[in-house]
């Protein structure tokens, strides 16, 4: 509740600064609309915003599920196999050297203008953080626990599933928290490159028609969704870790 109150206070402060800038500079509304005008546009265009929001939210949620699942499995495979580490870790690092923006046109070309090119963008942008944080946590299992498992005759598979993975769950949840912030970025980039719906598409459409108030409205909806998603993932991860510690 304290975090939500602080977030609300920060939002009110931003709105106050925004409104003050509009009053003091007299900037034209097509460049920087006042918060009241944006709020009115959000209400008048609520059906349009809701329609495009559903598309973007679907892309983000599917991307998080697939990206987190694939990242978790990759981290386990890397931790379990020295050969996999030798072959795959350089490839993971190399993949981060390629700008994500450069992949968006290719994904749109390969997967089309529909849902899956945006899901792929979200997956790619969150895959490395999830894999990296979970893998690092798996490799930092307390040596005492590993020695005890070895003395008790545990197999490598049993050691992985019974000791290393449970001990590394905080690292995995850290990756999920990052994914909750990064996934919307991937979806929006994909929509900017090629789409017929979604909040990113709506922003481009509004910008091209000089409807700055609608563009701000779509941006605010995206920001609110991202904050809520991060808050929900954070609360869910914290609750899951607390249950495991009991």
Domain boundaries, the chain: 58-245
Instruction: List Cβ neighbours of 192 (8 Å cut-off, separation of 6 or more).
Output: 104, 200, 201, 203, 204
Query: Which pLDDT does position 1 carry in this prediction?
Result: 47
The CATH classification of domain 58-245, taken from the options 1.10.8.50, 1.20.210.10, 3.40.50.1010, 1.10.3720.10: 1.10.3720.10
Query: Which pLDDT does position 47 carry in this prediction?
Result: 96
Distance, in Å, from the CA atom of 34 to the CA atom of 56, rounded to the nearest integer, reads 26
Query: Which pLDDT does position 246 carry in this prediction?
Result: 64
Closest CA to 130 of 233, 232, 225: 233
Query: Which pLDDT does position 10 carry in this prediction?
Result: 84
Query: Which pLDDT does position 245 carry in this prediction?
Result: 63
Query: Which pLDDT does position 48 carry in this prediction?
Result: 96
H or E stretch including 184? helix 165-193
Distance, in Å, from the CA atom of 15 to the CA atom of 12, rounded to the nearest integer, reads 5
Query: Which pLDDT does position 3 carry in this prediction?
Result: 63
- How much is the pTM? 0.90
- What is the CB neighbour count within 10 angstroms for residue 71? 25
Residue 208 burial (10 A CB sphere; 0-12, 13-18, 19+) = exposed
Query: Which pLDDT does position 112 carry in this prediction?
Result: 86
**Using one digit for the tens of pLDDT, what is the confidence trace for 67-96?**
999 999 999 999 999 898 888 888 877 777
- Which residues in the chain come in under a pLDDT of 50? 1-2
The gap between the terminal CA atoms of the chain, to the nearest Å, is: 23
Cα dihedral 94, 99, 104, 109, rounded to 10, equals -60
Handedness of CA 9, 15, 18, 24 (dihedral sign): negative
Which tokens sit at 179?
A: 């994914």
Distance, in Å, from the CA atom of 149 to the CA atom of 166, rounded to the nearest integer, reads 14
Which tokens sit at 238?
A: 């914290």
């Amino acid at each position: 509740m304290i975090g939500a109150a602080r977030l609300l206070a920060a939002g009110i402060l931003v709105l106050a600064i925004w409104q003050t800038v509009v009053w003091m500079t007299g900037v034209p509304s097509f460049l920087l609309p006042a918060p009241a005008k944006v709020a009115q546009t959000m209400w008048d265009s609520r059906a349009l915003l809701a329609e495009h929001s559903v598309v973007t939210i679907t892309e983000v949620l599917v991307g998080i599920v697939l990206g987190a699942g694939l990242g978790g499995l990759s981290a386990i495979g890397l931790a379990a196999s020295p050969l996999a580490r030798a072959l795959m870790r350089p490839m993971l690092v190399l993949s981060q050297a390629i700008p994500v923006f450069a992949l968006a046109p290719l994904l749109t070309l390969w997967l089309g203008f529909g849902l899956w090119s945006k899901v792929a963008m979200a997956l790619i942008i969150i895959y490395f953080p999830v894999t990296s944080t979970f893998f690092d946590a798996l490799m930092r299992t307390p040596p005492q626990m590993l020695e005890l498992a070895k003395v008790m005759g545990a197999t490598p598979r049993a050691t992985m599933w019974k000791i290393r993975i449970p001990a590394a769950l905080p690292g995995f949840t850290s990756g999920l928290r990052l994914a909750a912030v990064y996934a919307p970025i991937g979806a929006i980039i994909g929509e900017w490159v090629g789409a017929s719906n979604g909040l990113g598409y709506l922003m481009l459409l509004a910008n091209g028609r000089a409807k700055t108030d609608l563009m701000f409205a779509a941006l605010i909806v995206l920001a609110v969704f991202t904050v809520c998603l991060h808050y929900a993932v954070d609360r869910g991860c914290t609750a899951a870790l607390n249950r495991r510690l009991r």
